[in-house]
Amino acid sequence: MSKAFSEIKVLIVDSQPTVLDELSKVLTRQGYRCITADSAEQALVHYQDDSAIGLVLCDLHLPGTDGIELVRQLKAVTYPPRLVEAILLTSHADKADLIRALREGIADYYQQPVDFDELLQGLRRQETSLLERLRQARELGSLNQRLHHLAESIDELYQDLERARGNNLQRRATDPAEAETELPALFQKLSPRQLEVAQLVSLGKTNFQIACELGITENTVKLYVSQVLRLTHMHNRTQLALALTPHTSPVHQRFMAH
């Protein structure tokens, strides 16, 4: 009883019409859709035109070339290369031919006249192997696509975050109350993030509040505060806050006078 038709087509390549006809009839009865070619040139055309071809039965000795070279050309003729499993049919093959066949990734070979039961078993093994490779390739392609979308989403989030930070800094720079604040020279050595933390300290915010606003940990805020105090030679947060009050503030004037 023949099985249901395979989703993979078989390309049969042989220079003898009787061999092509016999192999095609046997495989068709077993549920395979077959395409025949009597030359390497015709095989290449069929392979390029039909993406469903994934199994190749090929005579080792073809006019002008051989089956091993044909398989190499089949793998190179499409981009990206398609997954394909090839089986050689030969009346005789020497050791050098077998080594070349292995190097080209040819899956198996059978002596002619071929035992059809053995050939069918081998063909089904290669069909199973090819279907598994195709499944894995589809899963990998889907995973790569998901990773690509995730990378794009992360990039968009970073861009949104940078825009938000830029808008926040611009808002602070144009705020009338803060525009009057001219930073003392000793604050010029601070990095943008250190200065941002110092300004939030001057507003009376706690480490926890600063951490929430900047999206960092409270321990990181403590580290920044410690760095700011060391770089500005301040002793505590109160001095830091006073040093960053507006120039017009009496408190600031008294502090700078000392």
CB 2 within 8 Å of CB 31: yes
Residue 157 has what pLDDT? Answer: 66
Please tell me the predicted confidence (pLDDT) of residue 148: 74
Render 34-85 in DSSP notation, one character per residue.
EEEESSHHHHHHHHHH-TTEEEEEEESEETTEEHHHHHHHHHHHSSSPPP-E
Q: What is the pLDDT of residue 179?
A: 44
Beta bridge partners of 61: 66
Q: CA-to-CA distance for 128 and 109, rounded, in angstroms?
A: 17
Helix-strand-coil percent breakdown of the chain, rounded to 5? 60, 10, 25
Cα distance between residue 124 and residue 87, in whole Å: 11
Task: Write out the two tokens for 159.
Answer: 């861009």
Portions of the chain given CATH number 3.40.50.2300: 9-143
Q: How far apart are the first and last CA of the chain?
A: 104
Instruction: Please give the pLDDT value at position 159.
Output: 67
- Tens-digit pLDDT string for the chain (258 aa): 445 678 899 999 999 999 999 999 999 999 999 999 999 999 999 999 999 999 999 999 898 889 999 999 999 998 888 899 999 998 877 888 888 888 888 988 898 888 999 999 999 999 999 999 888 888 888 887 777 777 777 766 666 666 665 565 555 555 544 444 566 777 888 888 888 898 898 888 899 999 898 888 888 899 989 888 888 888 888 888 888 765 544 444 444 444
Statement: 9-143 belongs to CATH 3.40.50.2300: yes
What per-residue confidence (pLDDT) applies to 250? 46
Write out the CATH class of domain 173-257. mainly alpha
The segment(s) of the chain belonging to CATH 1.10.10.10 are: 173-257
